[in-house]
Chains A and B, each alone.
Chain A
Amino acid sequence: MTIDTTTLSQTPATGPTPEPIFQRTAILRLPRSPKVIAGLVILAVFGVVAIIGRWIAPYSPNATDTQNWVQRVLVPGTGEGTPFPANYYPLPLPPSAAHWLGTSVFAQDVFSQLLASTQATLFVGLLAASIATVLSVVIGVSAGYFGGGTDEGLSLLSNVFLAIPALPLLIVLADYVPRAGSSILLVAAIIAVTTWAYTSRTLRAQTLSLRNRDFVEAARVSGEGRLRIILVEVLPNLIPIVAASFLFTTLTAMYAYVAIAFLGLAGAPTGSPAGLWNYPAFAWPSSAPAWRCSTSASTSSSIPGFERRGFRAVRPSRRASRRGRHWASRRSWAIDQRTRHLEWAPNRMWCSRSTDSASTTAMATMRSTRSSTVT
């Protein structure tokens, strides 16, 4: 994922004083463009799924369908003719009437997990974006408005955060902070810490240019307080950028969440091994096209709707919708930590040179899980 960095950084740093953008009518005006309507509809579907997903899920996301769990595959290099005892790994089920999207390796219903995990993913995205936006507005606007030493310090801070690669930092933070796995609040906060800097820089640049515009000058001359000028004169003019950045950060945050969930660091968002449906396909070929279609169809369409709506709501302009299209979808799923071992254990076995305790433990876990469920 490479974010289209140019549109955001291309804020009109100079140029004519913008018209008052924050108009009530613009917000309340009903969307007319078919794209906006399509986006809104898709967003609405995902919103509804996020809210009621848990209750409409056909199975409990954690429940193991033991009766149907029959697929076992011999780990290559074990069993007869090898020095190792026979070792099996489980395979998920392909889609069926009972399991629309198939099952995970634990024979858990993937569709139910998808429904249940949408909520957490959306929640983490929005929460992280909210925290990051507040941070970036406070830091960016103060840096831009106050200038001088404040600006130097705060700009340095955001440049430093910008330069440190986000994902490794996120991984290290998420790994060390205890209970990060079980608290999505903490996960959101950690993601926010790694994503605020870019917006902050954009806002600083814009504030810097607003600060010297005539209407702000006029307010200053007429003796208004700093805080009042910032809140009444400057902030309303930043709203389009803030809104755009909020959506942008939401997407980044969801992506980051998915990434660390993929690594098994975000824990189970719903208290369940959510979103397993991604990885099993790696080990399990036959249903691959099916899940791929389903995931593409659902997730790739969800986010554009989201962002389009946001842009249109604040300032319906062609530029905005163009920008919206470029930030395309991010996916919204998560992988459970526990399956990670299961998935990777076979690979480690093939690799076979590593005899470390961790993978042995993983194998042991796998074996015990399997034997307890298969028999």
Chain B
Amino acid sequence: MGALLRRLGVYILAAWVALTVSFLLPRVVPGNPVAGAVARASQSGNCNAGCIKAIEEQLGFDVHKSLWDQYVQYLGNLAHGDLGHSWSENAPVGSLILSYLPWTLVLLGIATTVSFLGGSVVGTLIAWRRGTWADWLIPFATFFQALPYFFLGIVLVLVFGQTGTMLKWFQSLFGYDIYATTPGFTVSYVESVFGHAILPATTVILASMAGFILSIRNQVITTMDEDFVLVAQAKGLPTRTVIWYAARNALLPVVANFTIAISLIVGGQILVEIVFNYPGIGFHLYDALSKLDYTLVQGIFVVITLVVLAANLLADVVYVMLDPRARQAA
């Protein structure tokens, strides 16, 4: 348990750092959001002292309180799940994010799972069939790994998307058909959601699977040189079993390095959501940025960080389950 608790400690610290950064940045950096909001308010009319005070309160800035008191209040609010109030949507940030989160989590969860499992299988097979036609997959994988997510997304929209110009096979804007359907458990809505998820999911899967394929291929090749794989072969075990011996061991370092992968996938997903106007958390981060809605930006950043840390913790648990040596240490 010790090792896992240690990791948990790291993640809690990371969460705290992220929270503190998002608390401090708007406050220590000159040209704070209040000024921005006041400027915006002035455009639409006169913003007098009362207006400024209202904005300050709304944004959670109180000039009459010390920074420390504000910080304590901020953490206290967070502990109650209060992430502040979004002026652009005129709603509590917490409930807004809750409404965005399912889109992101479902897409991210499915895409990551598919690309990890698919990448493991393909990577293992390529490694096992090294020196045959399977090697032709490597340049393709390298190519897709190199593509930025958003670029791949744009290309897919162009070629396959209905807002694109060529094949118009799939929906490529929004998370569901906002004109023809209304959210609810209706067949048409679920169909629409599914149809709209195809392209974004494909983008994330294609871009992230390539990385898994390559890293697992490398690991399997390294593992195949190990004596125990040789012995497994010498034992006359069926090829299937021998591959499983190698793959099972090759997975360990890949899972151990999941931190990097998940961080990249989440980053990529944010961009993909923006390309597809997919109503997840990444798109709304972008949206909030362009509206200069700092409370919402902060809240989204905090939530994304927590989601990523949770995913990391999950990966750690999986690692401990996979590796008996880690289990002993844990």
Mark A residues whose CB is within 8 Å of B: 1-7, 9-10, 156, 159-169, 171-173, 175-178, 198, 255, 258-259, 262-265, 278-279, 281-282, 285-286, 288, 292, 300, 303, 325-331, 340-341, 344, 347, 350-351, 353, 356-359, 361-362
Contact = CB atoms under 8 A, between A and B. Distances in A.
A6 B257 contact: yes
B142 A172 contact: no
Nearest to A264: B290
- The 9 nearest A-B residue pairs measured at CB: A2-B211, A167-B267, A285-B165, A328-B146, A358-B291, A176-B25, A163-B14, A5-B257, A6-B215
B263 A165 contact: yes
Interface string B260-272: 1111111110110
B215 A1 contact: no
Given A165-B263, A167-B270, A259 B150 contact: yes
Chain B interface, DSSP helix/strand/loop, else mixed? helix
Contacts of B239: none
Interface string B292-330: 100001101100110011001000000000000000000
A279 B143 CA distance: 20
Contact of B148 (A331, A347, A351): A331
Given A160-B13, A259-B148, 12 more contacts: A2-B261, A4-B145, A6-B218, A163-B14, A165-B267, A167-B267, A168-B285, A178-B29, A263-B286, A330-B148, A350-B173, A351-B277
B143 A300 contact: yes
A330 B142 CA distance: 11
B30 interface: yes
Nearest to B89: A356
B21 interface: yes
A326 B214 contact: yes
18 contacts: A2-B265, A6-B253, A7-B215, A9-B253, A161-B14, A164-B17, A164-B18, A164-B308, A165-B308, A168-B285, A259-B150, A262-B274, A288-B165, A292-B155, A303-B146, A340-B290, A347-B173, A358-B290
A171 B285 contact: yes
B145 A328 contact: yes
A300 B143 CA distance: 8
B264 A1 contact: yes
Contact of A1 (B11, B147, B298, B305): B147
A80 B267 CA distance: 42
A45 B174 CA distance: 41
Interface residues of B, number: 81
Most buried by B among A1, A178, A258, A326: A1
Nearest to A303: B146
Contact of A3 (B30, B165, B211, B290): B211
A163 B215 contact: no
B88 interface: yes
B22 interface: yes
B154 interface: yes
Interface string B232-276: 000000000000000000000110110111111111101100100
B253 A162 contact: no
A341 B265 CA distance: 26
Given A160-B10, A163-B312, A285-B164, A4 B211 contact: yes
A259 B267 contact: yes
Most buried by A among B40, B219, B263, B304: B263
Given A164-B17, A263-B274, A4 B10 contact: no
Contact of A331 (B151, B257, B267, B301): B151
Contacts of B142: 325-326, 328
Contact of B149 (A1, A161, A178): A1
B35 to A, nearest CB: 11
Given A1-B145, A168-B301, A285 B151 contact: no
Contacts of A356: 88, 291
A166 B157 CA distance: 26
A331 B309 CA distance: 28
A169 B178 CA distance: 31
A347 B277 contact: yes
B154 A281 contact: yes
